Amino acid sequence: MARRASTTAIGSIVDADLSEVGAGKEGWLVSNPNLLTALDTHYVAIANKSIVIVTGWSSGESDRVRILPELSPIEAEYISAIEWLVFGDDVRGLAIGTSSGYLMVYSLEGRLIHRQRIYFARIIKLRVRGTKRDLQHDTSSEEVCVVLPGVIARFDGSDIQKLLQWSIRENQSQFWDQNQSEPVGTHNSHAKIPYQLWNVNKYGACADAAITGVMPPPLMEVQSSQRYYCAVTVGEDAVISAFRLSEDKSRSLVGAILSKVVPATFSTIASVTKLLWRSDSQTPKAKEEKIQSFARASPLTCLKDHPRKGEKLTLSPSGTLAAITDSLGRILLLDTQARVVVRLWKGYRDASCLFMEMLVNKDTASSSSNYYGAVKSDYCLCLAIHAPRKGIIEVWQMRTGPRLVSVPCSKGSKMLQPTYRPATRELEYGRTNIGSRPSKQKSGGGIESLLAIPWMFAWTQTRFHLPVWLAFGETT
């Protein structure tokens, strides 16, 4: 019996000069640590420190765009992160992060739409994903997460979507009316987009991080319309850390005191300094760029296991699971809601992961009539693991399922995570479990396979205080 093929060719890059980013050399995709890639449904973006090349890889998409961002030679600024921004089928752009903390948004034509400084640090990662607006309603939206060493920033996807829509309308208006002096709508590329900023440096600088979703406020917190987010970070000092991110800056007592005392103290010091060091010859100074103040980030938990170091974090589409690679060649599957490691793989050094959907009930589909179509129950959320030292890609069923397929891959291959799609079934698969995690490690297992789930903790996480009343009243 012939061996069934597990790969399908869906596209290729032809007639595109990629020598500027190092193409043509053996292992060029993985040998250069400064080479960045971002995959879209029709395009792929490849960048080095100073240039980004966008080219089509699917059939009918062969346009090539060359982007040269304006980088500061004084700060030795370079491109440190790229990611596609996709809002529907027609609204898309490319986000570029730099080592000086700037976020740039470009159109598909390579035109700069927006430029904004997030913080005075290198942007490590750009993430785009869908999230629920709150816990009571099932409405969802997109968010853009910017990760820096010890800092996380969050943009509402609707604000960036408006920028891309404005760019599309401007291009259309210029196409239909070349003599039009004013485009439809105006936008300053240096105007600031509102965002939230949090300091998550309590357990050391992070190597990677992600906002996993909305979470309930603390039990003793006053109810308000402000949202709380859960963030997971990985790094050298702490393998895994979790934080509760608050939108409101005024709720922190320490922050409120510092916001009143520190400005007054500095004002007094500045006044005394001017009196003591007043000089007739004053040199004009450039106005310092102001960065948004931090909102409150409360630590929830931390896992320290020296000499293990957290390296990369891959988040599932729903945000309920995260695959974390460490320096010891292990992959940890983290339940982000319960903040518990539910699965562990060993022997995967230099591995990379991505979440995907896969047809698991193939026998049901083949045994039925020819008119049978695959339904939602036939698919399952899976984790693909690329082990370059083994030369394979493995696909494992989530959360505790078996290995479904193993695909050999040649040396120098690189597995790319497709960009976030607003309409995707993986978002539903990630929420299939009613609880935050399964009650057993293996289906059909005995008492030895049970997971330790503190029942009191489970109740308080949902803000129900029923266990408090179990011992209330008189006994008979």
Taking residues 73-79, what's their average pLDDT? 96
- The pLDDT tens digits of the residues spanning 335-382 come to 999 999 999 999 999 999 999 988 887 665 555 545 456 677 788 999
The pLDDT, as a whole number, for residue 56 is 85
Statement: residue 454 has pLDDT above 90 = no
- pLDDT band of residue 57 (cuts 50, 70, 90) is confident
Comparing CA positions, the residue from 225, 204, 228, 441 lying closest to residue 335 is 441
CA distances from residue 111 to 72, 80, 105, 146 in whole angstroms, order as listed: 19, 19, 9, 21
* Radius of gyration of the chain measured on its C-alpha atoms: 25
Least confident window among 75-89, 145-159, 206-220, 258-272:
258-272
- Going across the sheet that includes 403-408, the strands are 352-359, 379-387, 392-397, 403-408
| Polymer length in residues for the chain | 476
The pLDDT, as a whole number, for residue 130 is 75
Tokens of 45: 């973006």
First to last CA, the chain: 72
The pLDDT, as a whole number, for residue 182 is 44
What average pLDDT does the chain have? 78
Taking residues 14-39, what's their average pLDDT? 84
Max avg pLDDT among 142-156, 168-182, 218-232: 142-156
Give dist(CA 289, CA 283) in Å, integer.
Answer: 18
Tokens of 18: 């990629």
Mind giving me the DSSP string for 291-319? -PPPB-EEEEEEE--TT--EEEEEE-TTS
CA-CA-CA-CA dihedral for 446, 452, 454, 458, to nearest 10: -80
Half-sphere CA count of 241, side-chain side, radius 13 A: 27
Give dist(CA 81, CA 76) in Å, integer.
Answer: 15
Statement: residue 127 has pLDDT above 70 = yes
Give dist(CA 328, CA 310) in Å, integer.
Answer: 9
Taking residues 215-242, what's their average pLDDT? 86
Least confident window among 47-51, 80-84, 137-141, 468-472:
468-472
- pLDDT band of residue 24 (cuts 50, 70, 90) is confident
The better pLDDT of the pair 222, 74 is held by 74
Give dist(CA 15, CA 293) in Å, integer.
Answer: 48
- pLDDT band of residue 295 (cuts 50, 70, 90) is very high
Tokens of 7: 């790969």
Taking residues 170-192, what's their average pLDDT? 60
Comparing CA positions, the residue from 27, 34, 24, 117 lying closest to residue 70 is 117
CB 110 within 8 A of CB 63: no
The pLDDT, as a whole number, for residue 434 is 39
Give dist(CA 132, CA 297) in Å, integer.
Answer: 20
Phi, psi of 189 (to 5 degrees): -65, -15
CB 335 within 8 A of CB 320: yes
Domain boundaries, the chain: 350-476
Taking residues 110-120, what's their average pLDDT? 95
Tokens of 157: 């996807």
**Distance from chain centroid for Cα 445:** 35
- The pLDDT tens digits of the residues spanning 211-223 come to 999 998 887 666 6
- pLDDT band of residue 181 (cuts 50, 70, 90) is very low
The pLDDT, as a whole number, for residue 168 is 85
- pLDDT band of residue 187 (cuts 50, 70, 90) is low
Comparing CA positions, the residue from 24, 79, 23 lying closest to residue 48 is 79
The residue type found at 243 is F
- pLDDT band of residue 392 (cuts 50, 70, 90) is very high
Give dist(CA 91, CA 167) in Å, integer.
Answer: 9
The pLDDT, as a whole number, for residue 10 is 67
Taking residues 305-330, what's their average pLDDT? 94
Give dist(CA 376, CA 357) in Å, integer.
Answer: 10
The conformation of residue 5, written as its DSSP 8-state character, comes to: P
Tokens of 403: 């290995």
Taking residues 259-277, what's their average pLDDT? 55
- The pLDDT tens digits of the residues spanning 394-452 come to 999 999 999 999 999 988 889 988 776 554 444 444 444 434 445 455 555 554 555 54
Statement: residue 180 has pLDDT above 50 = no
Query: Percent of the chain, pLDDT > 90?
Result: 46
Give dist(CA 2, CA 245) in Å, integer.
Answer: 54
The pLDDT, as a whole number, for residue 341 is 95
The pLDDT, as a whole number, for residue 469 is 35
